[in-house]
Chain A
Amino acid sequence: MEGQSFEKQYEIPKSETGPKFDIESVLERGEIETVERLKGHSFIKVVRIKDDGEGLFKPGERIETTMHGEIDENRAALEFLAYTVDKILEFGLVPTTVQREIQAQKGALQTFVSTAVPATKLKNWSERVDLANLKQAAVFDYLINAQDRTTNNFLIDDVTGKIWLIDHDYYMFFEDYKFSSRIVNEARRKKLAALSSEILTAVTRLTESVDALIVEADEGYLKQILEGIKKRAKILLKTEEIPMA
């Protein structure tokens, strides 16, 4: 159904006003001007919304070829799960993401961030990021156990130093590559592992919400991810720092 939100699935409370709500509304209900499939292996479409910029659309169910053979990946659900976790934490790291049906295909529509570029494009990216934001991103990646946070999977606004986390798909959540997260590694290197009271409050808020998310998740793999997040959130609250690998 056009504009239906995954939030029905997760029952995330949200304020009636404010920038996030407005962006979600635009993505869910904005008038679509054009839709264009990008050239490349991953199935991604650029969706232009009248007077409101662009979004990147990734379809829901899709057969993906991995090292384990073909898997039925619901990338949209994974992308939205990451957005939901970030929203509860109130870190603002994952671009606004909604579920929408476009050209008879259900999927995740995520704000296109025009003000930032993949970290791969920046020389010495770690010297350009806001350190408080880097710490938040490291906490997020620790919580989701990010397996593939390469410099292609996060964006940096070179003016403000803000980080945007993208590409929350099968490879990020499930493949046991041990590629880990460049962000977590960099936070540790910069001795940013100790958590502030604000971050501990955010993680506490997540632990208070995660059981409801687990109950409401309609797929086993989503429950599995959320159980992992719950476990690692408890570790953060106990140790008050990002543990060493």
Chain B
Amino acid sequence: MILYYFVDLYELDKDAKQRKIATFKMQEDEPGRVEINGDENHPVLKSIEGEGIFDYKNARPGKLYPHDGMNFLENLKYYFRSGYLLATDVQRATINN
């Protein structure tokens, strides 16, 4: 069994209906690699990969990117908190080999 961590990111459409736009997933045995499952052309995902996100948790200057692993995952919920875009906490799950 492989343990992995993930964060879901949602957006609201014009009718205020929530829709998942991506899942950010990191395997425990690959801590420096966050895989993004979603439409790679979605502007929010392109923005994350291009501009990164802030480090709210540690209040450090500079940006975090998917290659920052758990630190990146843990900050998504602070970066996306408006409702128009909303991220979950880091969740854990397992998959069978």
Contact = CB atoms under 8 A, between A and B. Distances in A.
Contact of B82 (A66, A114, A166, A177): A166
Interface string A99-115: 00000000000001011
Interface residues of B, number: 30
Looking at A40, A151, A169, A177, the one whose CB has the most chain B CB atoms below 10 A away is: A40
B89 A41 contact: yes
Main secondary structure of the interface of B (DSSP, over half): mixed
Given A38-B83, A171-B56, 20 more contacts: A39-B18, A39-B20, A40-B8, A41-B77, A41-B89, A42-B81, A48-B16, A66-B56, A67-B56, A114-B16, A117-B84, A118-B82, A150-B79, A151-B47, A152-B79, A152-B84, A166-B82, A167-B82, A169-B81, A179-B54
30 contacts: A38-B18, A38-B86, A39-B10, A39-B18, A40-B81, A41-B77, A42-B86, A44-B86, A46-B16, A46-B18, A54-B16, A56-B16, A67-B57, A112-B16, A114-B15, A115-B14, A118-B85, A120-B85, A121-B43, A121-B44, A122-B43, A123-B43, A150-B54, A150-B79, A152-B80, A167-B81, A167-B82, A177-B54, A177-B56, A179-B54
